[in-house]
Amino acid sequence: MPFEKFESTGQGRGGGETVPKISLRKSGSIGINNEALEEFFPDAGAVVMYYDEDENRVGLKPVEDKEAEDGAYTLSRSESGGSVTPSSFLNKHSLVPEITTQYEPELVTVNQNLELVSIDLDEVYATYGSPAEEEADD
């Protein structure tokens, strides 16, 4: 059988992604793809972190900049998306995964004064790598 050329399906890690996703990373950071940045964080320069232990959900509150609210973490942006490094938050709640784990975010209203971009930690969208591969990448 001859070799067949692989044609990208546009799914998974590369281009063509259209689903907003937020990833928890082994490094103690949170990755936000461009679709999620555009939909949920268009003007944000920082986020405030929340955790609902009963529902096993993480919430991110977009804020204009780090000085806008106590406890905010800087939201860094690049061509490939955004990231925030709330290591102390993730460590406190034992949320640092062994491998990169992606979730589909949704906007939730907690009360009249609080809307959060939320991920359900029980609803995994995808995972990448293995613990051994992730260590090799660090």
pLDDT digits (tens, 9 = 90+) for 74-121: 999 999 899 999 999 999 999 999 999 999 999 999 998 899 999 999
Mean pLDDT value across residues 28-38: 96
56 in Cβ contact with 121 (< 8 Å):
yes
Residue 64 reports pLDDT greater than 80:
yes
Break the chain into its structural domains and give their ranges: 22-133
Q: Which SS3 state, helix, strand or coil, does residue 131 take?
A: helix
Start-to-end C-alpha separation, the chain: 39
Mean pLDDT value across residues 118-129: 93
Please choose, from the candidates 73, 15, 75, 81, the residue with its C-alpha nearest in 3D space to the C-alpha of residue 48: 73
Query: Which pLDDT score is estimated for 68?
Result: 82
Confidence of residue 6 (pLDDT cuts 50, 70, 90): low
Confidence of residue 132 (pLDDT cuts 50, 70, 90): low
Query: Which pLDDT score is estimated for 134?
Result: 43
